[in-house]
Every structure is written in C-alpha cells, then in structure tokens.
Amino acid sequence: SESERDPPRKIHNSCVENKAKYLKTSSQEYEYKFPYFRQPREIGSFSKDSERKFHHDRSQLKFYAPPRDLQRCNFDLRHGYSKMIFKDRNIKEHLDNLLRWIMHNRKSFYVNQAATNACDVSQNLEAKHSRFNSLNTDFFCWRGLLTHLACLPYENRDDLLVAVIKFRGSYYMCEFETEAKKIERETETPRQREMSAWGFKFEQYVTSDKPQGVPDISHPVNTNEEFGSVARSRLGSHSLVYGAEVDCVDPTSPDVNKYVELKTSRIIQAQRQYENFCKFKLIKWWAQSFLIGISRVVCGFRDDNGVVHKLQDYPVLDMPSVAQSCLHSPWKPAVCFNFLDSFLNFVKSVVTEDNPRCVHLFQWQPHRNVVHERRGEDPEFLFLPDWFINWEAW
C-alpha cells in the first residue's frame, strides 16, 4: 500500500507529500536522546458523580488506605459484583469533561498565565482579557491518548484511531474506538466482563472517602464516579493540557506528587510471566503515571479467582530499569517520548486549516505507519460540541 513505500522525502521520520501522509512507528527510528519534557503541573481537577454528572470540585477524590500487612491480605474482588453499576460504554463523552473544565477555568489560559505558576490573576489582567481568541495551548486531550501514543512503538496488538480538530490555534485530539476494539467489546464473555471489573473493586478495598478513613466494601462499586486531574506540561516545542483519571492520593507521601495509581495483576509464578509483565504491563504503567508526574503505582496481585493476596509498591522512576534488567530488548523511555514528540510534530504539519468543522483522522495498526487522512465535515468524528465552539467568552 501507499503508506508502506519508502517516503520520497524525510521530515522527522514522517512524510507529508501530497499522496502519502504518514509517520514511522518502529522503535529504532526513535532511539536518541530523551526530549525536553517539563515536569507536569496540576492546574485543576473535577469530579464525576454516581450519575456521571460533572462537578468542578474534588468531591470524588479517594484517599489511599492500605491494609496493615501488604504481604498478606485477602481481598475478594468478586464481592458484590452482581450489584455493581457500570458506566454506559455506549455513551461517548469525547473531550466534553475536559472542555467543561476549561470553561470553568478560563483564567488559567490568559497569556503569561499559561506559562507561569501564578495562581491568582490580578484584576487588571482579568479586565483586559474578558474576551480572548485563543487558549495559548497547542494540544488538548486525555492522558490516556498520550499513554497509547507513547507506548505505540512497542505495541503489537491494539490498533489506534485518533481524530484531531484545529480550533482557535489549538489542536484537540480525541481517541475513537476502532472497529477491532468495538468487536472485542461486543463479543466480550461474561468472564472477561467480570474480570475487567476487578480493578475497580480493588480500588474500593484500598481507598476511603476521607483521609485516615477505613475502606467500605459494602456499597456497590459505581464506575460512573471518577476524580479527574488536569495537568499542564511541555514536550519539545509543544505545550499540552490534558486530563487524567486519578485513583487516589496518599497525604502522608513524602513525594511532591502525592497521587497513587492502583493496579491489579495476576500473581507471577513463572519467568515467562515475569517477562510479559515487564514487557507489556510495566511500559503502560510507566507511561500512564510518568505523564502526570505520579511517582508510585501500587499493584494488588490476584489469583484466577479474583482474590488479592499481596500488594507491591512500584516506584515509577524505577520501572525502566526493572524492565531493563529482565528483558533482552527492553522498552526505552526516550523512544516513547521521542515518538510522542514526533507525532505532535506530524499533527501540526498536516492539520493546517483552523476550523471546528474539519476533522482529521490518524489511524494506526501494529507494524504499520501512522496514516493521516483529512475527513472534513464527517459528523461521526466532529467531536467539538456547539456549546464549546460558541462559548461566549471567545
């Protein structure tokens, strides 16, 4: 196919000639020095309640409440499964909650404000910028998309579909479900569905609603509830604002970033299992947490019956060396972030028309290039809602 031929002209591993617009994804292309990445800073947060309603507050934040003995516990993740309430996966929220957060926080985007740490905006600045044309930020998206992109040079199973819209100088990037993932979701077995709920039950076993509180596993888990953190950072020449679902905070942590990411994983009994864990899981855990500056992942190791027997702490900064000491050809953080930087360069080079009704698609399948396609006014992918496009503050 067109996308697999050698590009006639090379620009940062990508080709933007008329016919073929694509970006290489093999890890060897990106083996150079780690790019500039500014320490992500939290600029705000929001909550989604049990009915999936948006609240501009921290009401859904949970507090880490580990058991006394991390080495010996007995958490039955199937407990109360029949009463669990699932978020409706057929409702696609796109970037809506992030856009709502932006509209509650226009002060965060005034010139200078975007670049500094200042929290209190002077009255003067506010008066001068009561309306504005631009959010002074290159990219808006969910952290989950950045995680997928960063891991893409090492991904060999899941495909990816990203829609991008350029609007008022910013690029809005939204992941869409691919056909393959849709089929996977629709053909999920009851066992798979139950297992994908175990992670949420684990969160309930090790968190509480208040600091120093006790976990309450009696009320049904409701996956509509969510705490979201919004971060600002810079990668190479790109300024980024992204939202991320955060599991809990540990107020007693000595780290600057006190959030803790919770995971579950099957108990590891063989070398082969350990290699797969290092190769496929640690990279995703690392990218997901590193992107928002989380320093610690706590994993509950479970058996096949969904019982967690022990907890283990994984410092995020140690993960690359853990993978390195286990694998013959380990994943490299520099490759992940160089690819992410190149993807953002690629987006800027091919998405030029500033128009909220013009969408561009970026599609990828394992062992292929990322292929760009201008879709124009395709209602399936036009994800910016009118209430955001017609915001009176613009």
Site residues, Mg ion (CB under 5 A) = 245, 247, 262
DSSP 259: E
- Give whole-number Cα distances, 53 to 203, 204, 354, in Å: 21, 20, 31
Stretch that binds ligand A3P, among 1-9, 69-77, 122-130, 195-203 (CB under 6 A): 195-203
Among 50, 74, 112, 196, binds ligand A3P (CB under 6 A): 196
Stretch that binds ligand A3P, among 5-13, 62-70, 193-201, 315-323 (CB under 6 A): 193-201
- Contact between 45 and 228 under an 8 Å Cβ cutoff? The reply is yes
Collect all residues with Cβ–Cβ distance below 8 Å to 172 and sequence separation of at least 6: 95, 139, 140, 141, 164, 165, 166, 383, 384
- Give whole-number Cα distances, 22 to 3, 29, 59, 278, 364, in Å: 6, 14, 43, 30, 10
Nearer to ligand A3P, 264 or 342 (CB): 264
Nearer to ligand A3P, 234 or 281 (CB): 281
CA torsion through residues 274, 275, 281, 285, sign: positive
Strand partners, 341: none
Among 94, 166, 238, 263, binds ligand A3P (CB under 6 A): 263
Q: Which of 97, 91, 93, 120 lies closest to 108 in space, CA to CA? A: 120
- Binding status of residue 264 toward ligand A3P by CB under 6 A: yes
Nearer to ligand A3P, 274 or 387 (CB): 274
Q: Which residue is nearest to ligand A3P (CB)?
A: 199
- Binding status of residue 74 toward ligand A3P by CB under 6 A: no
Angle between helices 333-350 and 143-151 (to 10 degrees): 110
Nearer to Mg ion, 110 or 301 (CB): 301
**Strand ranges, E, within the chain:** 14-16, 21-23, 41-48, 54-55, 63-64, 75-76, 139-142, 160-167, 170-176, 207-208, 226-235, 238-245, 248-249, 259-266, 296-302, 307-315, 359-364, 370-376
Nearer to ligand A3P, 143 or 166 (CB): 143
Q: How far is the CB of 370 from ligand A3P (least distance, A)?
A: 20
Number of residues that bind ligand A3P (CB under 6 A): 8
- Binding status of residue 199 toward ligand A3P by CB under 6 A: yes
Nearer to ligand A3P, 233 or 264 (CB): 264
Per partner kind, with CB cut-offs from 5 to 8 A, the member of ligand A3P, Mg ion, none near residue 264 is ligand A3P
Among 138, 155, 247, 250, binds ligand A3P (CB under 6 A): 247
DSSP 350: H
- In terms of Cβ atoms closer than 10 Å to its own Cβ (0-12, 13-18, 19+), residue 247 is buried
Q: How far is the CB of 265 from ligand A3P (least distance, A)?
A: 7
Among 172, 200, 242, 314, binds ligand A3P (CB under 6 A): 200
Per partner kind, with CB cut-offs from 5 to 8 A, the member of ligand A3P, Mg ion, none near residue 196 is ligand A3P
Nearer to ligand A3P, 3 or 60 (CB): 60
Site for ligand A3P, rule CB under 6 A = 196, 198-200, 202, 247, 263-264
